[in-house]
Structure 1
Amino acid sequence: MSQQYPQYTNGPGQQFQPGQGPGPSPQFNAPFDPQYPQPQPPPRKPRRWVPWVVAAGTFLLGLIIGTAGHNDNGSPSASAGAPQPTVTKTVPGPAGATVAGPTVTQTVPGPVRTVTAPPPGPKAAITEDGVFLVGTDIKPGTYRNGNEGDCYWARLNSTNGDFDAIIANGNGGNQVITIKKTDKAFETRRCGSWTKIS
């Protein structure tokens, strides 16, 4: 059994069988048949100008960005974000100038002063045995002692220990005596305390 194929026309009076390529006429309007592949258009030639256009655009973009970071004087502006260099300049001062240093405070010890306390003044009471100078150790005045019965006392006009140095003396307790300014010293033995009463 023979298979029938449709016939296609490429123009008036022209016919071709399946399996034969279509004619050179651009008016080929044959329906699509999946059994026969459609003719493919010829591959496009690469456009050699595209890389040059991309390179020129990149260059122009970089040039615009580079000039945007400069001000009108041609110097980089502070808004460009680039760190600015620090310049240190040493300026010489006038000749013979002296730079003041820090002030140092130092404490220097002064001379050592020895203060001698004055001797204590004459007392108005006698609390122990001994010979006491009038006006230096004891004050002149009237004194009274306690009940000591074996008490001995003496008013003296000198401290040489001679018997004639005694102005007045006495024994016993509850004695009241007056020591005068003209007396040199006062001696007391076993009398306890003497208290000035006037």
Structure 2
Amino acid sequence: MTFQQPSPPPPDHGAHGPFGLGTPNGPARTADHRKTWLKYGAVAFISLFVGVGIGATGSADTGKGTGETKAGPRPTSTVTETAEPEPAPTVTETETVTAKPKKTKKPGPATSFSGEGEYLVGEDIKAGTYKTAGPEDEWGCYWERAKDASGEFDSIIANNNLNGPGRVTLNNGEYFKTNRCQEWTRVG
């Protein structure tokens, strides 16, 4: 007769199944049991991550994954800037020219003058006939021809008070006095 060895009974996973996850209707495992599974799961995940990282660095440098790494040339980037060319210096040539002065008329007596002042005809103003537009203000325009600059009544040759435009003829050597008049201009 042959004896058969009885086979061991299957493990009892209880209501949680083989992985401790439990069934929807079964009782829950204790909190310590869950913490243990979480700890082992986290260690496994970190180990997997570290192993993949080590394997990747070994194969990236050598292409064989031996774990030996050699330092080799690394690519570099170069930035080139183009400098603006400096402008060429400007050469300035200077030529000195001596200009001959133009012949100018000898300054002579004026042919127009202010309506306020005393003038010697032939020296300060040119002899001739002059006109004015009249008084500068409401007080009128006074003019006087005199034989000298003494201011005496006897030296007056002619005089007039104008309320509008006027004319006077002046001769060389006479003195012409004007007050409150607009500018006098030679007309002949």
Q: TM-score, normalising length from structure 1?
A: 0.38
Between the two structures, name the one with larger relative contact order (CA 8 Å, sep ≥ 6).
Answer: 2
**Structure whose alpha-carbon radius of gyration is higher:** 1
